[in-house]
């Protein structure tokens, strides 16, 4: 899971956030330290180190090789948890590869900041060893501010750094809480977040969150666990019945703690919630719809007969993804997930279903195992087209509406082109 660092230099705020388990470290810069009222840079930074033992980045403010090296050597001596922060280029746009290489060779932990491209990431990786810890901070927010999607560059950087176990990719210049979810989904090891946005992220705790939380599987998890794609949604919900059951159970085990929980509920400091999980559905040959000649409606038309069964692959996905989500809640200190004993029982799992009707006229090139071709034209019927979720050959974990719209627009353009040609 993506670690959360707090991007702050104010001593009062650091005292507050170092106590929060979700905050795994801190990043600072000379501007933040000056804004916090520091008169002496080194003395102020050393005072911060008296407050927290978590990893923290302090930046050099020199612009030339010699002074960068001198400042970096002094900063690293302030404490073992320090990452020396160095921009990837100086004020003239010159790559600081020489300084990066030298400091890395001296086993100094570095945070290379103001990175915008995977090309810069590659330049950095060519200058370092595979032992000394190093963070590469990619300015995702500033890229987005200029109208550029940061995700492709971050994904490329993560892929490039994969062979370096000592390197972590950090999502920097955060603009909104959603960036935290994005960083987690693409596989960033760290995201550095201003205090105000951390407070909002903490709201993802389903015990006090006012809206839905979306937690989706990442490519890395899918490959490692060999599972399908999936997503979990959480909603806070007022439910007195749930509250009563919680209190009753806790009072039996720990009466004093139970009374405390009861007071929290009364004061509305505690909320219960529902957890929903959506899974990708793999294609299963025996899942089908046929016309049932033995069961007809009042017009003597055969009713449909549904054959549907979930796969062991779906069950494995549910099991692994729920456990991953439970671990996420523990790591981020947002709550604890208690899973029912029969949650992994395939028989009970069969009763779970969704809301979207998918498949039935699946798309494909072969008329023996599909109904429509890639243009959504029914095989061997030139003037008949089908557009909708019935053409899907598998069901994704997300709402299919936008895919249906896109397919319909594509088909409309195709028919229009055919008419006008």
| Residues marked as catalytic | 85
CA distance 277 to 173: 31
CA distance 157 to 161: 6
Q: What are phi and psi of 276, to 5 degrees?
A: -120, 140
User: Nearest-CA neighbor of 87 among 117, 113, 49?
Assistant: 113
User: Nearest-CA neighbor of 76 among 115, 128, 134?
Assistant: 134
Q: What are phi and psi of 251, to 5 degrees?
A: -60, -35
CA distance 281 to 211: 27
CA distance 40 to 204: 38
Q: 306 - beta bridge partners?
A: 289
* 132 and 104 Cβ atoms separated by less than 8 Å: yes
CA distance 171 to 185: 12
Q: List C-alpha distances in Å: 409 to 30, 356, 387, 405.
A: 51, 20, 9, 6
User: Nearest-CA neighbor of 412 among 378, 392, 385, 393?
Assistant: 385
User: Nearest-CA neighbor of 161 among 192, 193, 186?
Assistant: 186
Q: Crossing angle, helix 118-125 and helix 97-105, to 10 degrees?
A: 40
CA distance 8 to 342: 45
The structure tokens 């599987």 sit at 217
**Residue 394: CB partners within 8 Å, gap ≥ 6?**
280, 281, 282, 283, 358
The structure tokens 């008949």 sit at 384
**Residue 204: CB partners within 8 Å, gap ≥ 6?**
177, 213, 234, 332, 334
């Amino acid at each position: 899971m993506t670690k959360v660092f707090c991007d702050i230099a104010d001593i009062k705020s650091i005292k507050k956030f170092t106590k929060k388990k979700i905050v795994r470290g801190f990043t600072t810069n000379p501007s933040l330290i000056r804004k916090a009222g520091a008169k002496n840079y080194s003395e102020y930074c050393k005072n911060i180190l008296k407050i927290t033992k978590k990893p923290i980045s302090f930046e050099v403010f020199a612009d030339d090789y010699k002074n960068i090296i001198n400042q970096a050597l002094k900063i690293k001596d302030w404490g073992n948890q320090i990452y020396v922060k160095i921009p990837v280029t100086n004020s003239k746009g010159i790559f600081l590869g020489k300084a990066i290489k030298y400091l890395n060779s001296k086993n100094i932990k570095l945070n290379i900041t103001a990175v915008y491209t995977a090309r810069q990431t590659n330049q950095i990786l060519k200058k370092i060893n595979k032992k000394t810890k190093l963070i590469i901070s990619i300015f995702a927010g500033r890229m987005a501010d200029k109208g550029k999607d940061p995700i492709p560059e971050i994904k490329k950087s993560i892929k490039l750094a994969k062979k370096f176990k000592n390197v972590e990719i950090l999502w920097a210049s955060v603009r909104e809480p959603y960036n935290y979810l994005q960083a987690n989904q693409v596989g960033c090891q760290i995201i550095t977040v201003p205090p105000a946005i951390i407070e909002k992220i903490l709201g993802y705790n389903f015990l006090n969150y006012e809206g839905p939380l979306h937690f989706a599987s990442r490519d890395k998890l899918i490959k490692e666990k060999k599972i399908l794609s999936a997503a979990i949604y959480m909603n806070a919900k007022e439910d007195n019945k749930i509250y009563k059951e919680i209190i009753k159970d806790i009072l039996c085990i720990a009466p004093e703690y139970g009374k405390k929980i009861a007071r929290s509920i009364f004061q509305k400091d505690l909320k219960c919630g529902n957890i929903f999980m959506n899974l990708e559905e793999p294609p299963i040959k025996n899942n089908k719809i046929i016309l049932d000649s033995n069961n007809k409606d009042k017009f003597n038309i055969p009713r449909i007969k549904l054959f549907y069964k979930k796969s062991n692959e779906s069950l494995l996905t549910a099991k692994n993804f729920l456990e991953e989500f439970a671990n996420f809640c523990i790591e981020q200190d947002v709550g604890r997930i208690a899973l029912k004993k029969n949650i992994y029982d395939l028989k009970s799992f069969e009763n779970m279903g969704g809301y979207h009707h998918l498949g039935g006229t699946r798309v494909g090139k072969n008329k023996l195992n599909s109904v429509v071709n890639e243009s959504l034209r029914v095989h061997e019927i030139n003037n008949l087209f089908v557009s909708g979720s019935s053409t899907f050959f598998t069901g994704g974990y997300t709402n299919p509406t936008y895919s249906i719209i896109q397919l319909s627009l594509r088909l409309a353009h195709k028919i229009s082109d055919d008419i006008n040609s």
